């Protein structure tokens, strides 16, 4: 797994993909956080990072889909997948190597926003009354959300050798699993089970962990979500349909 | 026994790409795997390298089954696929380091990469990106990739395809050199390649093995009694069949004919007598060693060789 992980990281760093992803993320979030009149934290009146945590999942849908679209599609197109598959690394090692590499890039996109945390903390009146528990919970939620998106992105990329197709498919799947279930749960005919339907979507658990209470059920949900999509990827990989 | 296939088959849907083939390759042999495009060469190689699972039958590499112990087989085999799997944006040295890492090379990786760079003649290109290299050098990088973990068995799928004649000669020389102490299975659809490099040839056509022997035997068996003859006056090629022992004839030029016969000793005399009898002049005749190209065409029914 190490060799694949190292190769992926090197490839992200040497091809600008990583920098573009990180810079665009910070730029977009920065604009929402500090500039746009409707959402900026300065006019908001409360010492909170809420803008960051509401906007980030939406920005991530695009950025993580872009980050992951090449993972398998490119290897299929260049046939380098055959190189990987005929060396003594298992399919899981290949998939997990790629998964963790992309996740680490997501982590590096999130890390600089800690600066926002300290800024807001200092700007609060009196300084230091930010809800630290909720903020750390939100960070953890955002990291897991990123992991879920990465697993979706890998799966979408494993379906095709066309990166654009992988990108669009990944955007749809991320969007669907993040927000659709909240809407779907509003249909009349399962009003009794609406809670359960909502529970399937990522946003339910993201919101839950954002409150600062780290519930094992949410953690298990995130882990299972990633495992399921990585499992799909593994299945797709084993089929050798290219 | 270095490589052994028993009833090895691969089906894609209803299409049979490889049909229950049996063959074995001894340690240290260089074997040419020959066949027209789409004959099943690549598919067979992909099964031997654990890339594709066989539909039925099995294969062994150095006594290890490809289905039961793929990881071990992968460690023993160096494989250059038909489409050279390179990362164009990587530097040559970076790529080789990655492959060494991937193949689990335990020793001093830096030293090993430099050794391979020298062995494959990449010294001057080592600091370039792969996308900057010419096709010949890319192929060398591909070979370096296959060799980096010092495998006992080398499987090369059309290692010289798409190269110019000089590059072809260089790559062949390189393979011959490397092949001295390794078992090599290489596929090609070019006959001269087999003549230049291989001890033995396995010919495959539409998923079936149609010949498996060393080159001399093959020539004896299929090309033994070919004869070339030139007359002054053109004749109908079929006329020559009336000579006793002549099995088939074909016209190969103006007044020039090639015939296959079963009378090794006195065909010359008979042809001469025939010419006199038909009031024709025999200008030239010679026994022909049928070349591999023709044998290949005969065996694979003249498919696009």
If one counts every other C-beta atom within 10 angstroms of the C-beta of residue A157, the result is: 29
Q: What pLDDT is recorded for position A97?
A: 96
CB A36 within 8 A of CB B135: no
**Which tops the pLDDT comparison, B225 or A84?**
A84
**What is the C-alpha to C-alpha distance for residues A187 and A142, in angstroms, rounded to an integer?**
28
CB B20 within 8 A of CB B56: yes
Q: What pLDDT is recorded for position B305?
A: 38
pLDDT band at B198 (very low <50, low <70, confident <90, very high): confident
Asked if A15 and B85 come within 8 Å (Cβ–Cβ), the reply is no
Asked if A86 and B77 come within 8 Å (Cβ–Cβ), the reply is yes
Q: What pLDDT is recorded for position B93?
A: 94
Q: List the Cα angle A218/A109/A156 in 5-degree steps.
A: 65
Average the pLDDT over each of A52-66, A92-106, A117-131 and give the range with the smallest value. Answer: A117-131
Nearest to B49 among A78, A86, A89 (CB): A86
Give the gyration radius of chain A's Cα atoms. 19
Q: In this structure, what is the dihedral angle of CA atoms A173, A176, A181, A184, given to the nearest 10 degrees?
A: -120
What mean pLDDT do residues A217-231 have? 96
| Bond from prior residue into A126 cis (ω within 30 degrees of 0) | yes
**In angstroms, what separates the C-alpha of B12 from chain A's closest C-alpha?**
10
Q: Which of A6, A77, A87, A241 to mutate to test the interface with B (most CBs of B within 10 A)?
A: A87
Q: What pLDDT is recorded for position A223?
A: 96
Q: What pLDDT is recorded for position B85?
A: 93
Measured between beta carbons, the chain B residues lying within 8 angstroms of A79 are 81, 83, 85
Range of the domain at A187: 2-238
Asked if B51 and A86 come within 8 Å (Cβ–Cβ), the reply is yes
Percent of chain A with pLDDT over 70: 100
Asked if A84 and B103 come within 8 Å (Cβ–Cβ), the reply is no
Measured between beta carbons, the chain B residues lying within 8 angstroms of A11 are 87, 89-90
Which structure tokens are listed for A92?
Answer: 């899981």
Within chain B, all domains assigned CATH 3.30.70.100 are found at 225-288
Which structure tokens are listed for B273?
Answer: 């007598």
pLDDT band at B300 (very low <50, low <70, confident <90, very high): confident
pLDDT band at B264 (very low <50, low <70, confident <90, very high): low
Q: What pLDDT is recorded for position B304?
A: 44
Chain B CB within 8 Å of residue A180 CB: no
Q: What pLDDT is recorded for position B303?
A: 46
Q: What pLDDT is recorded for position A17?
A: 86
Which structure tokens are listed for A195?
Answer: 């809670």
pLDDT band at B265 (very low <50, low <70, confident <90, very high): low
**What is the C-alpha to C-alpha distance for residues A232 and A239, in angstroms, rounded to an integer?**
11
Beta bridge partners of B257: B229, B251
Asked if A11 and B89 come within 8 Å (Cβ–Cβ), the reply is yes
Percent of chain B with pLDDT over 70: 95
Q: Is B286 exposed, middle or buried (0-12, 13-18, 19+ CB in 10 A)?
A: exposed
Chain B CB within 8 Å of residue A10 CB: yes
Beta bridge partners of B249: B259
Per the prediction, chain A carries an average pLDDT of 90
Within chain B, all domains assigned CATH 3.40.50.300 are found at 3-213
User: How many domains does one find in chain A?
Assistant: 1
Asked if the model's pLDDT at residue B218 lies above 90, the reply is: no
**What is the C-alpha to C-alpha distance for residues B52 and A230, in angstroms, rounded to an integer?**
21
What sign results for the dihedral spanned by CA atoms B72, B78, B81, B87?
Answer: positive
Query: Over the stretch B59-92, which tens digit does the pLDDT of each residue have?
Result: 999 999 999 988 999 999 999 999 999 999 999 9
Residues 6 or more apart whose CB falls under 8 angstroms from that of B242 comprise B274
Measured between beta carbons, the chain A residues lying within 8 angstroms of B74 are 86-88
**Domain B3-213: assigned CATH number:** 3.40.50.300
Query: Over the stretch B123-171, which tens digit does the pLDDT of each residue have?
Result: 999 999 999 999 889 999 999 999 999 999 999 999 888 788 888 888 8
Size of interface A-B (CB pairs under 8 A): 62
Chain B CB within 8 Å of residue A87 CB: yes
Q: Minimal CA–CA distance to B65: which of B6, B10, B112? A: B6
Q: In chain B, which ranges are continuous DSSP H helix? A: 41-48, 70-76, 92-102, 109-119, 135-147, 165-179, 191-197, 215-223, 267-277, 292-299
CB B168 within 8 A of CB B133: no
Q: Which residues of B touch A (CB under 8 A)?
A: 46, 49-52, 71-72, 74-75, 77, 79, 81, 83, 85-90, 94, 98-99, 101-104, 145
Asked if A86 and B94 come within 8 Å (Cβ–Cβ), the reply is no
**Domain B225-288: assigned CATH number:** 3.30.70.100
Measured between beta carbons, the chain B residues lying within 8 angstroms of A87 are 74, 99, 102-103
Query: Over the stretch A10-51, which tens digit does the pLDDT of each residue have?
Result: 999 988 888 998 999 999 999 998 888 888 877 777 778 888
Instruction: Report the Cα A216 to chain-centroid distance in Å.
Output: 19
What mean pLDDT do residues A87-113 have? 94
Measured between beta carbons, the chain B residues lying within 8 angstroms of A88 are 71-72, 74-75, 102-104
Q: What pLDDT is recorded for position A41?
A: 79
Chain B CB within 8 Å of residue A211 CB: no
**In angstroms, what separates the C-alpha of A68 from chain B's closest C-alpha?**
17
By C-alpha distance, the chain A residue nearest B88 is A78
Average the pLDDT over each of B37-51, B96-110, B163-177 and give the range with the smallest value. Answer: B163-177
**Which tops the pLDDT comparison, B130 or B35?**
B130
Asked if B101 and A90 come within 8 Å (Cβ–Cβ), the reply is no
């Amino acid at each position: 797994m190490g060799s694949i992980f190292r190769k992926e990281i090197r490839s992200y760093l040497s091809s600008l993909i990583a920098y573009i992803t990180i810079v665009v993320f910070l730029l977009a979030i920065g604009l929402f956080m500090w500039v746009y009149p409707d959402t900026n934290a300065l006019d908001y009146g409360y010492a909170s990072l809420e803008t960051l945590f509401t906007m980030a999942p939406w920005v991530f849908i695009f950025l993580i889909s872009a980050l992951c679209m090449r993972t398998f599609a490119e290897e299929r197109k260049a046939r380098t997948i055959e190189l990987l598959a005929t060396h003594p690394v298992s399919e899981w090692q290949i998939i997990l190597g790629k998964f963790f590499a992309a996740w680490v890039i997501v982590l590096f996109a999130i890390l600089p926003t800690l600066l926002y945390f300290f800024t807001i903390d200092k700007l609060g009146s009196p300084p230091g009354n930010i809800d630290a528990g909720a903020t750390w919970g939100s960070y953890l939620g955002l990291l897991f959300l990123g992991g879920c998106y990465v697993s979706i992105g890998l799966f979408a990329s494993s379906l095709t050798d066309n990166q654009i197709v992988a990108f669009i498919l990944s955007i749809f799947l991320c969007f669907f699993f993040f927000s659709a279930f909240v809407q779907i749960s509003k249909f009349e005919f399962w009003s009794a089970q609406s809670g359960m339907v909502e529970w399937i979507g990522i946003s339910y658990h993201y919101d839950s962990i954002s409150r600062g209470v780290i519930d094992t059920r949410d953690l298990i949900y995130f882990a299972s979500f990633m495992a399921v999509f990585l499992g799909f990827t593994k299945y797709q990989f084993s089929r050798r349909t290219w | 026994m270095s490589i052994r296939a028993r009833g090895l088959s691969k089906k894609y849907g209803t299409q049979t790409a490889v049909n229950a083939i049996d063959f074995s390759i001894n340690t240290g042999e260089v074997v040419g795997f020959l066949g027209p495009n789409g004959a099943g060469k690549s598919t067979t190689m992909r099964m031997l390298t654990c890339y594709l699972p066989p539909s039925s039958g099995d294969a062994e590499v150095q006594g290890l089954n490809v289905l039961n112990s793929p990881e071990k087989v992968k460690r023993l085999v160096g494989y250059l696929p038909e489409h050279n799997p390179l990362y164009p944006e990587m530097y040559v040295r970076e790529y080789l380091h990655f492959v060494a890492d991937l193949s689990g090379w335990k020793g001093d990786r830096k030293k090993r990469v430099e050794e391979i760079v020298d062995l494959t003649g990449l010294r001057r290109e080592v600091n370039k990106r792969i996308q900057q290299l010419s096709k010949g050098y890319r192929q060398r990088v591909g070979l370096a990739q296959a060799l980096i973990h010092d495998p006992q068995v080398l499987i090369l799928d059309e290692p010289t395809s798409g190269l110019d004649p000089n590059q072809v000669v260089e790559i062949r020389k390189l393979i011959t050199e490397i092949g001295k102490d390794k078992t090599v299975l290489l596929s090609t659809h070019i006959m001269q390649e087999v003549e230049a490099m291989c001890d033995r040839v396995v010919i495959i056509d539409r998923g079936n093995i149609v010949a498996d022997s060393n080159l001399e035997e093959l020539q004896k068996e299929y090309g033994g009694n070919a004869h070339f003859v030139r007359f002054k006056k053109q004749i109908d090629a079929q006329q020559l069949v009336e000579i006793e022992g002549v099995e088939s004839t074909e016209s190969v030029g103006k007044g020039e004919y090639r015939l296959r016969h079963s009378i090794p000793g006195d065909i010359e005399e008979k042809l001469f007598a025939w010419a006199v009898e038909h009031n024709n002049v025999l200008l030239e005749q010679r026994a022909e060693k049928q070349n591999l190209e023709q044998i290949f065409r005969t065996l694979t029914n003249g498919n696009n060789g």
